[in-house]
Structure 1
Amino acid sequence: MIYTIKDSGPLVSIITPSYNSSAFIKETIESVQAQSYPHWEMIIVDDKSKDDSVHIIHEYIKTEPRIKLIPLTQNGGAARARNVAINEAKGEYIAFLDSDDLWFPTKLEDQVTFMQKGNLAFSFTSYSLMDEKGNPMDIEVTAPETVDYQYLIGNTTIGCLTVMLDRRQIKQIEMPVIQPEDTALWLLLLRQGYQAYGLQKVLSKYRIVRNSTSRNKLKAAYRYWKLLRSQEKLNLIKTNFYFSKYAYHAYNKNRGKRPTSIPSEGKQGK
């Protein structure tokens, strides 16, 4: 059931998959608690962590009724964890935040206002990069004003931690079980005729974690190639064309240029 808190703004359901996130989950939760927009619920799905993530999350739940924890009995990856959370969500809006990333305090307020003013179904924002310790890397990923299917397929510019979706307009929200699952969903929605609108304000911080599977560039490239071939069902010529565009933007990012995209990297699934 979708509902709105009476005499207040619409409820935002925050979707957070967590796997062995004990080093970062405190900061992530506290960045949500610090939001200037109070009408949210945070649904954390723990993907069978082996560390003390669950204990840490329970400590916050004791004093924060807006946080809900769903522990999974088997590890199933980020797509499954996010879909479990989406199915439990009660909000009119869905927002995504991985368990090692951070939001600036006005993220929800600014984006809800942006969505409402334009009656938007799909929005995203600019964001910045930080290293594993949370230090800024002086790199910002700038959101284009609009993104359609043809744009996104060659430039994975939409950061998962910045996306907000309106469930009243998008009736079916489910991440495909294929990596990168976030980009797979954005492509699916854009192929259905939706358009993504960019709020050109840095409202989130994406953490670059050393030695994570998502940082393996060859694996990330292979996953994107596979997505183009299997989900998008492109022929070899079109796959080569769009993959080369993807690689070009990723290369510029890794050279330290101020990018308009970074490779799509789901960090939670194992």
Structure 2
Amino acid sequence: MEQEQRPQATSPHVLIFPVPAQGHVNSMLKLAELLALAGLKITFLNSQHNHERLICHTDIRSRFIKYPGFEFETITDGLPVDHPRVGDRIMEIFDAMELRTKPILREMLVKMKPPVDCIIGDGILGFIVDVANELGIPIFQFRTISACCIWAYFSIPDMIQAGELPIKGFEFETIWDGLPRDHPRSGFSAAMEMLEGLELRTKPIFRDMLVKIKPPVDCIIGDGLLGFIVDVADELGIPILQFRTIGASCIWSYFFIPDMIQAGELPIKGQ
């Protein structure tokens, strides 16, 4: 064990290290705040790239300054500053972190004062476990997915045993998204272009597909963002349900906006 030995401090020192992606960081920040409220010393280790974005676009400093035992540290995600970190390039982060972030993390833990008593690492970053085991530091792997997703994972063996999986009568069909093959499909502007492409070029193909499909479609469940699906369904007389894929908390926020405006809580004063 290379980490320095010391008497047990009043407040254990916990290092929290999320995957450098928005959903993972947000979940880990909530966990970090709960532990800080309990009086633990927390070091939140974030990628330099993501931490700069948090500083620029959130209230991260004022939110955590009230916890005296809380501090942020940054580490490289292993990619060049100008390297894309969205869409199909996101997986490149994992290779880069394994190669470049891992040795830096090990050196950081060896030198950190006070020494780290425990690590809470993102459940999909395996190299954190390797480093923790090498240095003899206890580690928890924290999965940032939702409770319903975890429940689904644990239910899969039972569903297979009960014959409910694979789903009978299920099949995939594909359709053009209206963009050239080499056109970017990540980022906000590209997403907006995709919606335009779907409206202009996918809509007539979708209509033709529904007319020809056998057996005929009895009902459509369409994404709530795709209005052209409603137009086609209404034209062909097919019942349609629009399904919003946002989280329950987001839906809850939408429904409360009128009440918050009426109560004078929106727009936020001073913003």
- TM-score bracket, shorter-length normalisation: 0.3 to 0.5
The TM-score, its normalising length taken from structure 2, stands at: 0.33
Query: Which structure's relative contact order is higher, taking Cα pairs within 8 Å and 6+ residues apart?
Result: 1
Structure 1 or 2: larger strand share? 1
